[in-house]
Structure 1
Amino acid sequence: MRIGLLGTGPWARLVHAPALDGHPGVEFAGVWGRRPEAAGPLAERFGVRAYDSADALISEVDAVAVALPPDVQADLAVRAARAGRHLLLDKPLATGVPGGRAVAEAAEAAGVASVVFFTTRFQRRPREWIREQAAAGGWFTARAHWLGAVFSGGDSPFAASPWRRAKGPLWDVGPHALSVLLPVLGDVVRVAAAARGPRDAVHLILEHSGGATGTVTLSLSAPPAAAGAGVELRGEPGVAVLPEGTEDGPAAFTAAVDDLLGAARTGERHPCDARFALRVTQILAEAETLLPATG
């Protein structure tokens, strides 16, 4: 499978490009970016072509990997799907329901495979844990936190990201929390409450179709010493805590590439496909409407 990379930012440089270059089952075909001055050096580093336009790259590959802001990703993913290209996308799928729905519908109409890179879902130990807890059932409540120090740590490569500044932790790390909770507790039937905390913190109370309720705390400006992510479940099986993934970003992304190859070969829907990512987008949008405006 020939895969082209759309995007040249930190995530593309640190994760996508190294994983695509090192994967034995794909041909890393080239790079396009909104800034040609960044696309050229990245392409040269990995010995691939730097394309002048996204459509030119799309026309010459079997699949695209996207490492772009979500509002840009959605439009390009639709164009790629309509051209018959498989999709390896990032979270969030879009920053609104219409954009997310357009991607999901375009992928389904074209019959292309889609995989959305919710990092935790592609790390071996968390993936196995999620499968085990979903099979166990009987969960009463859950508590999740995703606390980053992107804007408080001083050295994050993502601190200059305009979309993260604009959309905040709900849209950046909220998808990670939901990607773990939904397969275990069932769909979110209602966002019961959403509130703001210190700095940029967001707190959610969720009601799930399986009967459990859960709380989620999100931030991109947590004190560096307090940063981290975790999920705790409590119910009839007792207490279960999400294990930490040992794989780094490129290793997890390699697993996502593996899954895209499998989905393209079998035609079966992936658990983290565009339709699942659309559902995550819908939940985030519902929560956003409940948050009080910032001062």
Structure 2
Amino acid sequence: MRFGLLGTGPWAERTHGPALAAHDDVELVGVWGRRTQAAEALAARLDTRAYADPDALFADCDAVAVALPPDVQAPLAVRAAQAGRHLLLDKPLATTVEGAREVTAAVERAGVASVVFFTLHFTASTADWLDEARRAGDGGWLLGRADWLSPVFADSDSPYAASPWRHDRGPLWDIGPHALSVLLPLLGPVAAVRGARGAGDTVHLLLRHEGGASSTATLSHTVPAAASGVAAEVRGPAGVASLPERDEGPAVAFGRAIDALLASASGGVPHPCDVRFAERITQTLTSAEATL
């Protein structure tokens, strides 16, 4: 499948680009970015060409992978879908319900495949755990929690610390999708959510799920490195199921997301992490933000 890459930042450079270039079933036809020089530099490193116009790139490919801020991603995803291109997108899909709905509507009208890269669903250890927990609970999990605590804006040298959209939208929108991507498949859709602010940029969420279960999430980019970490668990009649540690890098996981898009495009079966799932997460985050 011929892919175009949209984006030139650290996520495109470290994850999307290398995974696309290394995939046996992908031809990376080109890169487009908002900064021409950055696009040319990344294209050279990936042994492909830079495009000055995203629509020209759409015309030359079968699918696009997007590594851009969410509210830049959403309108470009609509244009790519309208051009008949399959979509490998990043989370969050958009930071407005309207933006997310426009992408979903474009995908449905065009009949293209879509996969949104929720990392835990494509990392081997955590993906297996999610499948096992789903089967073990069989809809009976009662309680859940997900904590995603990072030092990106505290005392780290993370390349993402300079990200303007992460500064503007905070951990709710950057890592909130990861937490919800664990809780929703196991506990069900969210019926109501409330948020509260904590120290630094920390956000706490309290969620009630449609089937009667409840859960919490704590999200932060300002915890000290010694206090950082990712944890999640669900509890119910089957006992306690705790998320294992991730055991591989994001580029490997992104390779599995590419596999998932290829399979969905060839088989016509929607992937569980498609734009519809991502739209529901945007709806939940929007509702949470309104209560802060």
TM-score (norm 1): 0.97
The residue number in structure 2 matching 1:80 is: 80
The residue number in structure 2 matching 1:114 is: 114
The residue number in structure 2 matching 1:182 is: 184
Mapped to 1, the partners of 2:235 and 2:280 lie a distance apart of 25
Q: Deviations over 1:72-120 (max 9, x none)?
A: 0001000000000000000000011000000011001100000000111
- Higher mean alpha-carbon deviation, 244-253 vs 68-77, is at 244-253
**Gapped runs of 5+ residues in structure 1?**
none
**What residue identity is the alignment partner of 2:71?**
D
Mapped to 2, the partners of 1:142 and 1:45 lie a distance apart of 43
**Gapped runs of 5+ residues in structure 2?**
none
The residue number in structure 1 matching 2:144 is: 142
The residue number in structure 1 matching 2:237 is: 236
Tell me the SS of whatever aligns to 1:50. strand
- Higher mean alpha-carbon deviation, 141-150 vs 105-114, is at 141-150
Mapped to 2, the partners of 1:264 and 1:140 lie a distance apart of 35
Q: CA RMSD in A?
A: 0.8
Runs of 4+, deviation exceeding 3 Å: none
The residue number in structure 2 matching 1:250 is: 251
Tell me the SS of whatever aligns to 1:139. coil
Tell me the SS of whatever aligns to 1:289. helix
Tell me the SS of whatever aligns to 2:99. helix
The residue number in structure 1 matching 2:5 is: 5
> Which residue, out of 158, 161, 185, partners 1:159?
161
Q: Is contact 1:195–1:203 with CA below 8 Å preserved after alignment?
A: yes
Alpha-carbon shift at residue 211 of structure 1 (Å) = 2.1
Q: Is contact 1:134–1:185 with CA below 8 Å preserved after alignment?
A: no
TM-score (norm 2): 0.98
Mapped to 2, the partners of 1:209 and 1:124 lie a distance apart of 29
Q: How many residues align?
A: 290
Alpha-carbon shift at residue 210 of structure 1 (Å) = 3.0
- Higher mean alpha-carbon deviation, 207-216 vs 268-277, is at 207-216
Q: Is contact 2:156–2:225 with CA below 8 Å preserved after alignment?
A: no
Q: Is contact 1:65–1:89 with CA below 8 Å preserved after alignment?
A: yes
Q: State whether structure 2 residue 264 is matched by structure 1 residue 263.
A: yes
Mapped to 1, the partners of 2:115 and 2:248 lie a distance apart of 18
- Higher mean alpha-carbon deviation, 254-263 vs 237-246, is at 237-246
